Amino acid sequence: MATTTTATTITTTAVQPAVIAAKKARAEQERALLDSAHQSQMLYILGKEHLRIKKEAGVVGVVRHLFLAIFVWMRDNTRSKPAELNVPVDKLVEIGFVKEI
């Protein structure tokens, strides 16, 4: 049993430096990738949604449409994300969808 314990200890200690070296190499690769991305041009991708109001009949539908129209108008006339984040427009891609409410 003493031989088995010693063999297990030797194997465990021999593997740890190899694992640590592999983790350090991967960290260096990731850092080099981040450095190259920082030095090159950057591209900003922002999500965007466009709201469209469903048509409904009746008084409730008209009131609902009025309030939602006011909300959508206010939302469209406020500052956008790129303006708030100071993102250059030539480096911006907006990806979005249309949602009916």
* Spatial separation of the C-alpha atoms in residues 82 and 94, rounded to whole Å: 10
- The 10s digit of each residue's pLDDT in 17-33 is 888 888 889 888 888 87
Q: Is the pLDDT of residue 36 over 70?
A: yes
Structure tokens at 57: 């009949």
The three-state secondary structure class of 3 is helix
Instruction: Identify which has the larger pLDDT, 93 or 60.
Output: 60
Q: What is the pLDDT of residue 55?
A: 85
* Spatial separation of the C-alpha atoms in residues 46 and 65, rounded to whole Å: 28
* Spatial separation of the C-alpha atoms in residues 75 and 67, rounded to whole Å: 12
Reported as a pLDDT band with limits 50, 70 and 90, residue 16 is: confident
Q: What is the pLDDT of residue 1?
A: 47
Q: What is the pLDDT of residue 95?
A: 80
Structure tokens at 61: 């539908």
Q: What is the pLDDT of residue 70?
A: 92
- Strand ranges for the chain from DSSP E: 44-52, 92-100
Q: What is the pLDDT of residue 13?
A: 57
